[in-house]
Amino acid sequence: MQDRRLLTRYAWLSIGTAVFTILLKTAAYLLTGSVGLLSDALESGVNLVAAVFALIVLIIAAMPPDEEHAYGHAKAEYFSSGVEGALILIAAGTIAYTAVLRLINPQPLAQVGAGLIVSVVAGLFNFLAARILLRAGRRYHSITLTADAQHLMTDVWTSVGVVLGVGAVALTGWQILDPLIALAVAGQIVYSGIKLVRQAVLGLMDTALPPEEMEKVTAVLAHYQEKGITYHALRSRQSGAWAFISVHIQVPGAWSVQDGHTLLEDIERDLRQALPWVSVFTHLEPVEDPVSWQDISLTRPSSETN
């Protein structure tokens, strides 16, 4: 797997984009007085905080294993996703509160044309940054970069909605459209925040690999089943950029240790070729021994471990 320390350059890209778009969107709000554009600027503020936190997390996640963290620090990436989701929810609450105040006390918009142009430019920068981060997240299997990209894309669609809403106000003169659009934006942001928090929780709970990745694993094992090799107790978990798989392989008890070891090396090699980011743990068992079949459950009964 590539040097994870290189991923921080993408976090710096996200930080720079957030600062630039905050300035543009704040200018758009000051020009128009639109609460919809204010909501857009607030979400970019969340982007900045999230990008800074993502930078810190990527630095930690790239640290090599040590005595206290023998499996590395990759799981730190889930904290970035969780914090980003929480910040999004806070921003949504702030937007909704501001929009309700504007519903109660509507105000006319000013300099709509200039404000919309500034907002569109900011949206384009967000879109370009999101595409770069998403490509990097998939290439390096980084949930931090992927989450940041998804957040930026949410910001892009938010900007599109706000621009359409403010434009509708300018065309119709219906001032109520501005806070209503802001409330819709808040609702959409809540969905994005919950999704990111859920992703973080699932990762911290050692959730199994997604079905499409497990299909690749079972395809490899099925190849060996055709040769008369059986397996059970197949388990997986995701930990940041790494995946972990454990499986029990059953062979004839008459095999030599060397024969069994060679087989396990072949299986582990094929699994790593199917999923380059996976760490594989195999356990060899004689197929004739009844005790071998008692490992199918997650844990053995306590009476069998004494």
- The pLDDT assigned to 27 comes to 82
What is the strand order of the sheet 242-251 is part of? 230-239, 242-251, 278-286
Q: Which CATH superfamily is domain 211-304 in?
A: Cation efflux protein, cytoplasmic domain (3.30.70.1350)
- For residues 215 and 89, the model is more confident at 215
Q: Rg (Cα) of the chain, in Å, rounded?
A: 26
pLDDT (mean) for 10-36: 83
Cβ proximity of 125 and 20 under 8 Å? yes
> CA nearest 161: which of 95, 76, 85, 224?
95
- What is the DSSP code (8-state) at residue 302? G
Mean pLDDT on 124-146: 85
The single-letter code of the amino acid at 274 is: A
Question: Mean of the pLDDT values across residues 9-14?
Answer: 89
Is the pLDDT score of 152 beyond 60?
Answer: yes
Q: Is the dihedral of CA 250, 252, 254, 255 positive or negative?
A: negative
Residue 64 gets the label, from left (phi > 0), alpha (psi -120 to 50) or beta, of beta
Across 117-138, average pLDDT:
86
1-5, long-range: CB < 8 A, 24+ apart? 1/140, 1/141, 1/241, 1/242, 1/276, 1/277, 2/140, 3/62, 4/58, 4/61, 4/62, 4/74, 4/140, 4/142, 4/241, 5/59, 5/62
Instruction: Pinpoint the residues of the chain covered by CATH 1.20.1510.10.
Output: 4-204
| Domain span(s) for CATH 3.30.70.1350 in the chain | 211-304
What is the C-alpha to C-alpha distance for residues 35 and 230, in angstroms, rounded to an integer?
63
Label residue 102 exposed, middle or buried (CB < 10 Å: 0-12, 13-18, 19+).
Answer: buried
pLDDT, residue 306, reads: 39
**Per-residue pLDDT for 305 more than 50?**
no
The overall average pLDDT reported for the chain is: 80
Query: Which of 68-82, 143-157, 164-178, 263-277 has maximum average pLDDT?
Result: 263-277
Query: Residue 90: CB partners within 8 Å, gap ≥ 6?
Result: 46
For the chain, the first-to-last Cα distance in angstroms comes to 40
Q: Which comes out higher in pLDDT, residue 129 or 277?
A: 129
Class of domain 4-204: mainly alpha
Output the pLDDT for position 258: 95
CA distances for 216 relative to 118, 201, 246, 274, angstroms: 47, 25, 14, 6
